Amino acid sequence: MSLPKFIIGMMFALAIVIGWSYFDGASLGIIVLRTIVCAVIIQSGYFLLVFAMIGRATPTSAGKVREADRGAILNKVADGEKLSARRSLH
Protein backbone atom coordinates (compact mmCIF):
# COMPACT_ATOMS: atom_id res chain seq x y z
CA MET A 1 0.00 0.00 0.00
CA SER A 2 1.36 3.39 -0.93
CA LEU A 3 1.76 6.15 1.63
CA PRO A 4 -0.88 8.52 0.15
CA LYS A 5 -3.49 5.75 0.18
CA PHE A 6 -2.56 4.92 3.75
CA ILE A 7 -2.86 8.54 4.89
CA ILE A 8 -6.25 8.98 3.22
CA GLY A 9 -7.51 5.73 4.75
CA MET A 10 -6.19 6.73 8.16
CA MET A 11 -7.94 10.10 7.95
CA PHE A 12 -11.24 8.39 7.11
CA ALA A 13 -10.80 5.94 9.99
CA LEU A 14 -10.02 8.76 12.42
CA ALA A 15 -13.02 10.75 11.16
CA ILE A 16 -15.23 7.73 11.85
CA VAL A 17 -13.81 7.42 15.37
CA ILE A 18 -14.40 11.14 15.98
CA GLY A 19 -17.97 10.94 14.64
CA TRP A 20 -18.73 7.81 16.65
CA SER A 21 -17.37 9.38 19.81
CA TYR A 22 -19.30 12.62 19.24
CA PHE A 23 -22.62 10.85 18.64
CA ASP A 24 -21.90 8.60 21.62
CA GLY A 25 -21.90 11.74 23.77
CA ALA A 26 -18.25 11.57 24.78
CA SER A 27 -16.49 14.63 26.13
CA LEU A 28 -13.84 16.47 24.12
CA GLY A 29 -11.04 14.85 26.15
CA ILE A 30 -12.37 11.34 25.50
CA ILE A 31 -12.76 12.11 21.78
CA VAL A 32 -9.13 13.27 21.59
CA LEU A 33 -7.95 10.25 23.60
CA ARG A 34 -9.84 7.79 21.38
CA THR A 35 -8.49 9.50 18.27
CA ILE A 36 -4.89 9.33 19.50
CA VAL A 37 -5.23 5.68 20.52
CA CYS A 38 -6.75 4.82 17.13
CA ALA A 39 -3.97 6.68 15.28
CA VAL A 40 -1.28 4.84 17.28
CA ILE A 41 -2.89 1.47 16.54
CA ILE A 42 -3.15 2.26 12.82
CA GLN A 43 0.46 3.49 12.66
CA SER A 44 1.71 0.41 14.50
CA GLY A 45 -0.16 -1.85 12.10
CA TYR A 46 1.29 -0.04 9.09
CA PHE A 47 4.80 -0.27 10.56
CA LEU A 48 4.40 -4.01 11.19
CA LEU A 49 3.05 -4.52 7.66
CA VAL A 50 6.04 -2.74 6.08
CA PHE A 51 8.43 -4.56 8.42
CA ALA A 52 6.92 -7.92 7.40
CA MET A 53 7.16 -7.03 3.71
CA ILE A 54 10.83 -6.12 4.09
CA GLY A 55 11.54 -9.26 6.12
CA ARG A 56 9.86 -11.47 3.54
CA ALA A 57 11.77 -10.01 0.58
CA THR A 58 14.66 -12.11 -0.67
CA PRO A 59 17.99 -10.32 -0.56
CA THR A 60 19.93 -9.91 -3.78
CA SER A 61 23.66 -9.79 -3.99
CA ALA A 62 25.39 -6.63 -5.13
CA GLY A 63 26.74 -8.47 -8.16
CA LYS A 64 23.25 -9.39 -9.38
CA VAL A 65 22.03 -5.82 -8.95
CA ARG A 66 25.08 -4.48 -10.77
CA GLU A 67 24.59 -6.92 -13.66
CA ALA A 68 20.90 -6.03 -13.93
CA ASP A 69 21.74 -2.31 -14.04
CA ARG A 70 24.46 -2.91 -16.62
CA GLY A 71 22.07 -4.95 -18.78
CA ALA A 72 19.43 -2.24 -18.62
CA ILE A 73 21.95 0.39 -19.69
CA LEU A 74 23.24 -1.71 -22.57
CA ASN A 75 19.71 -2.29 -23.83
CA LYS A 76 19.17 1.46 -24.07
CA VAL A 77 22.30 2.07 -26.13
CA ALA A 78 21.73 2.48 -29.85
CA ASP A 79 23.19 -0.14 -32.17
CA GLY A 80 25.72 2.19 -33.81
CA GLU A 81 26.71 3.96 -30.62
CA LYS A 82 30.05 3.08 -29.15
CA LEU A 83 30.50 2.74 -25.40
CA SER A 84 33.64 4.25 -24.01
CA ALA A 85 35.14 4.49 -20.56
CA ARG A 86 36.27 8.02 -21.37
CA ARG A 87 33.80 10.80 -21.32
CA SER A 88 34.50 14.30 -22.55
CA LEU A 89 32.72 17.50 -21.68
CA HIS A 90 32.77 18.76 -25.29
pLDDT in tens, 40-88: 999 999 899 888 988 888 777 776 767 766 665 555 655 556 656 565 5
pLDDT band at 90 (very low <50, low <70, confident <90, very high): low
Q: Which pLDDT score, from 0 to 100, does residue 33 have?
A: 95
Q: Which pLDDT score, from 0 to 100, does residue 77 have?
A: 57
Q: Across residues 13-17, what is the average pLDDT?
A: 94
Closest CA to 42 of 14, 67, 70: 14
Cβ atoms within 10 Å, residue 21: 19
77: Cβ contacts below 8 Å, ≥ 6 apart? 83
What distance in Å separates the CA atoms of residue 72 and residue 22, rounded to the nearest whole number? 56
